[in-house]
Amino acid sequence: SEMSAVDYLAQDGEFEVFYQLLNLEERKRVRVVCRIPQGLAIESIVPLYKSANFAERELFDMFGLVVNNHPFLKRILMPDDWEGHPLLKTYPLHGDEFASWYEVDKIFGKEAREAIGPENRDPAKIDRYDTKRFSRVGREVPFGADISEGEPDTPIEYSQTLLVDYNASQTQLKDRK
């Protein structure tokens, strides 16, 4: 099973929640789509589909939707003390003040903010063993380099875009069976 949601809160005050279910014994797929008004909870389907466990936790973590009767409803992707739900359309695209300093605060403490300077680094590259390498997304900084020297931002470029013909791939799968 798989489950996710779409944030239509601004337009309709609702979430669109969908389940994609697969019955392996009967080889049947079902897609269930429902609208949930903001503030209401949904019922867990874990008793029917055990694989819905993590998907329901992700729904809670990313959208803030409460799932009633879930066996262990807590955050799964974000830290337990994270503020907000990142897949809501109201969540800032580049995070907020809390998000931008989260790694620095956790690893070095809030007192290190002034020494590190403005938030100009890729948080994925910070760990407690590396205290000198901070960079912006799309820019490489050598280990120990002084980041006060301004270097123009370079846009992220993709070398290749792949287009997949769904119908052709289905034909190839039939030929393999």
Range of 106's domain? 92-151
Confidence of residue 177 (pLDDT cuts 50, 70, 90): very low
Report residue 143 CA to chain centroid gap. 29
Convert the pLDDT of each residue in 6-24 to its tens digit. Answer: 999 999 999 999 888 888 8
Convert the pLDDT of each residue in 93-104 to its tens digit. Answer: 776 777 777 777
- Tell me, what CATH number does 34's domain have? 3.30.460.80
Same domain, 64 and 96: no
Does any domain span residue 140? Answer: yes
> Beta-strand (E) ranges in the chain?
2-8, 14-23, 28-37, 42-43, 67-68
Same domain, 57 and 17: yes
Same domain, 62 and 7: yes
Does any domain span residue 162? Answer: no
Same domain, 58 and 113: no
Same domain, 112 and 61: no
Convert the pLDDT of each residue in 84-141 to its tens digit. Answer: 999 999 988 776 777 777 777 887 788 877 777 655 455 555 554 554 555 544 556 5
Over 70: is that where the pLDDT of 3 sits? yes
Q: How many domains does the chain have?
A: 2
Q: Do residues 101 and 109 make contact, with C-beta atoms less than 8 angstroms apart? A: no
Q: Do residues 85 and 61 make contact, with C-beta atoms less than 8 angstroms apart? A: yes
Nearest residue to 125 (alpha-carbon basis) of 151, 155, 148, 104: 104
Burial 77-90 (b: 16+ CB within 10 A, else e): ebeeeeeebebeee
